[in-house]
């Protein structure tokens, strides 16, 4: 029961963070909101990691290098996600970003993992859902789809780096966030600054705190196990995003997009269950 609770809370944290970021990004720009989200996370997690774990030892340098590479991927993934939210609907973009589970499954298959019938069915559902969701509807509802696909691919790179890096999760998160911030800071300052209107600052800060909470709850969920339950619950951020978008943002996807979102969420859940 505790695994289910923490997993769903992780998914809800990510979805709510995306909703807050969407408003700020549309009023400012993606790079500005990235800087606030990454800055909040780094300020909180780096001191904690140094206090509890210290600096990586020589035997952990490979893991630290992969964590740094994950930070570069995460910068690109978050930028694409926020650009998608800037022009597209929250529910659609989040559902397509959740296809990172499908991309990861394909990557693992290419690395030699055997393909089961259930895994193949889940991948087919994901592909079918992506096609249905991306079919042209209202202009705003589909413009974020290419950014969402790109974000999912880059998030897959983050997960692969984390998976093959032999270093504890707290150090991974601290190193990757620091590298992401190191890339985002000059990029933001050189192209327009980091100013967010005062009225939007609570949302910008809230998005950063919720994004970090999502990461911490995700880690706790997988530590509690079992992995099948953890995987299914934590990948439901697309489901929560669809609900938040429909109820709070009054998003109204077309019928084919509802069907595509449902197929995508179902496929991602199956992938998590068989992982």
pLDDT at 16: 94
Tell me the HSE value of 274 on the side-chain side, using a 13 A CA sphere.
22
Which ranges constitute the DSSP H helices of the chain? 2-27, 30-52, 61-87, 90-97, 100-110, 117-134, 139-143, 145-164, 169-190, 201-224, 227-234, 237-247, 255-274
pLDDT at 80: 95
pLDDT at 232: 64
- Measured in residues, the chain has a length of 275
The whole-angstrom distance between residue 271's C-alpha and the CA centroid of its chain comes to 16
Average pLDDT over residues 252-270: 77
Alpha-carbon gap, residue 192 to 12, rounded angstroms: 31
pLDDT at 139: 43
How far is CA 273 from each of CA 98, 113, 119, rounded to the nearest angstrom?
Answer: 14, 16, 9
Alpha-carbon gap, residue 146 to 84, rounded angstroms: 8
Calculate the dihedral angle through the C-alpha atoms of 126, 127, 130, 134, rounding to the nearest 10 degrees.
Answer: -170
Is 90 exceeded by the pLDDT of residue 164?
Answer: no
pLDDT digits (tens, 9 = 90+) for 202-224: 999 999 999 888 888 877 876 67
Is 80 exceeded by the pLDDT of residue 154?
Answer: yes
Is 70 exceeded by the pLDDT of residue 125?
Answer: yes
Q: Specify the residue for token string 């600054």.
A: 193
């Amino acid at each position: 029961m505790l695994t289910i609770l923490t997993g769903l809370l992780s998914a809800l944290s990510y979805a709510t963070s995306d909703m807050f970021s969407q408003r700020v990004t549309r009023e400012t720009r993606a790079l500005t909101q990235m800087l606030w989200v990454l800055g909040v996370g780094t300020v909180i997690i780096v001191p904690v990691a140094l206090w509890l774990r210290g600096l990586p030892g020589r035997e952990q340098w490979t893991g630290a290098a992969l964590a740094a590479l994950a930070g570069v991927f995460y910068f690109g993934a978050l930028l694409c996600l926020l650009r998608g939210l800037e022009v597209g609907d929250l529910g659609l973009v989040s559902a397509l970003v959740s296809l990172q589970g499908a991309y990861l499954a394909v990557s693992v298959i290419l690395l030699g993992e055997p393909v089961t019938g259930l895994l193949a069915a889940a991948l087919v559902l994901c592909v079918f859902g992506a096609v249905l969701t991306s079919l042209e509807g209202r202009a705003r509802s589909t413009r974020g789809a290419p950014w969402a696909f790109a974000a999912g691919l880059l998030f897959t790179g983050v997960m692969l780096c984390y998976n093959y890096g032999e270093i504890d999760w707290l150090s991974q998160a601290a190193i990757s966030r620091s590298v992401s911030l190191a890339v985002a800071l000059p990029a933001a300052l050189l192209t327009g600054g980091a100013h967010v209107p005062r009225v939007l600052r609570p949302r910008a800060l809230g998005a950063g705190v919720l994004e970090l909470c999502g990461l911490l709850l995700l880690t706790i969920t997988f530590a509690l196990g079992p992995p099948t339950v953890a995987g299914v619950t934590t990948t439901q951020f697309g489901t929560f995003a669809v609900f938040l978008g429909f109820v709070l943002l009054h998003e109204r996807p077309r019928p084919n997009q509802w069907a595509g979102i449902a197929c995508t969420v179902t496929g991602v859940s199956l992938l998590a269950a068989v992982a």
